């Protein structure tokens, strides 16, 4: 049995999405469509593509449309079949077969750390993966997706692994930033994490991306993490404690990452995915025309 078969995954998706208001007033940001597919489906497909088929999604009470999206819609399937659109009907049915999805509610948005802690009964005493659906990672053209690359490093080390991306120094203040010792190409042993440091204080330009593999030790640490910034339990605080008691590795994954948590990043990702889709020629022509006017 491969490591991916024993890893379960957790998708915290109970945040309020304030950077995307008013779109997210009554609609989960995870369900906003990147070209023709909701953002969260891309990320569930990435996890399932790496063999992580048991997935817990932490949702808020007003986010039930996520459950509906991954459920069967037999009425729609029959409607499409009756009109000769069998391929489309199959595509719709397959959405419910991507992975075994489970759900739990985080009623109050008490922070990402709190949301991850809610997964403990589902995970038990095993390592597990965490995905933030804001971060969509397009895999390299001929290669493993980011999850597979992280699982490889986890298999090698048996330790927690955090996805990293080098960003320009102007952007470091918007992210969790790590310090560490290089142990190989794209791999570091993390020695320190700092949440949203100023450019001057940032120990590096390596930022944390929303993909993690944790040993279950993180649960004990989260239980003892007091509420921090904004009264929320911060995952970064627990990661800092984890680094102090266990090795934690960082992986600069190969692949293109989009931060779709705000409208501009979302638009960039939409354009990129549209350029890969069926209407790519039309979009390409449109962009060329548009660029002449800019």
| Shorter beta-carbon distance to ligand UTP: residue 40 or 274 | 40
Q: How far is the CB of 291 from ligand UTP (least distance, A)?
A: 30
Say whether residue 32 binds ligand UTP (CB under 6 A). no
Say whether residue 38 binds ligand UTP (CB under 6 A). no
Backbone angles phi, psi at 276, to 5 degrees: -100, -10
Among 14, 43, 44, 218, binds ligand UTP (CB under 6 A): 14
Among 7, 9, 10, 12, binds ligand UTP (CB under 6 A): 12
Number of residues that bind ligand UTP (CB under 6 A): 21
Q: How far is the CB of 91 from ligand UTP (least distance, A)?
A: 26
Among 88, 92, 95, 110, binds ligand UTP (CB under 6 A): 110
| Shorter beta-carbon distance to ligand UTP: residue 136 or 274 | 136
Q: How far is the CB of 125 from ligand UTP (least distance, A)?
A: 22
Which span sits near ligand UTP by CB under 6 A: 87-95, 104-112, 156-164, 270-278?
Answer: 104-112
Among 46, 134, 165, 237, binds ligand UTP (CB under 6 A): 134
| Shorter beta-carbon distance to ligand UTP: residue 60 or 221 | 60
> From the centroid of its chain, how far is CA 265?
14
- Pairing of the two strands 187-195 and 248-252: antiparallel
Please answer whether residues 123 and 216 qualify as being in contact, where contact means their C-beta atoms are separated by less than 8 angstroms.
Answer: yes
Say whether residue 13 binds ligand UTP (CB under 6 A). yes
Which span sits near ligand UTP by CB under 6 A: 129-137, 143-151, 187-195, 277-285?
Answer: 129-137
Judged by the rule CB under 6 A, the positions of this chain that interact with ligand UTP are 12-20, 58, 106, 109-112, 114-115, 132-134, 261
């Amino acid at each position: 049995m491969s490591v991916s078969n024993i890893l379960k995954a957790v998708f915290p998706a109970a945040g309020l999405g304030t950077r995307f208001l008013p779109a997210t007033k009554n609609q989960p940001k995870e369900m906003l469509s990147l070209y023709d597919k909701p953002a969260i489906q891309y990320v569930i497909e990435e996890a399932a593509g790496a063999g992580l088929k048991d997935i817990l999604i932490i949702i808020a009470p007003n986010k039930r449309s996520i459950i509906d999206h991954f459920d069967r819609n037999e009425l729609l399937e029959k409607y499409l079949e009756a009109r000769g659109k069998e391929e489309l009907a199959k595509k719709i049915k397959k959405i419910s077969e991507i992975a075994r999805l489970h759900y739990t509610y985080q009623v109050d948005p008490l922070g990402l750390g709190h949301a991850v802690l809610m997964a403990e009964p589902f995970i038990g005493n095993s390592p597990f993966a965490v995905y933030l659906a804001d971060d969509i990672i397009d895999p390299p053209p001929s290669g493993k997706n980011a999850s597979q690359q992280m699982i490889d490093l986890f298999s090698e080390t048996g330790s927690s692994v955090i996805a990293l991306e080098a960003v320009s120094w102007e952007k470091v203040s918007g992210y969790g930033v790590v310090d560490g010792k290089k142990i190989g190409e794209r791999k570091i042993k993390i020695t320190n994490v700092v949440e949203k440091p100023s450019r001057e204080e940032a120990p590096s330009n390596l930022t944390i991306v929303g993909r993690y593999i944790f040993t279950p030790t993180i649960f004990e640490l989260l239980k003892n993490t007091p509420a921090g910034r904004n009264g929320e339990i911060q995952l970064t605080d627990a990661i800092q404690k984890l680094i102090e008691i266990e090795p934690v590795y960082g992986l600069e994954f190969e692949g293109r990452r989009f931060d779709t948590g705000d409208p501009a990043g979302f638009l960039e990702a939409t354009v990129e995915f549209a350029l890969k889709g069926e209407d790519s020629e039309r979009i390409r022509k449109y962009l060329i025309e548009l660029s002449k006017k800019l």
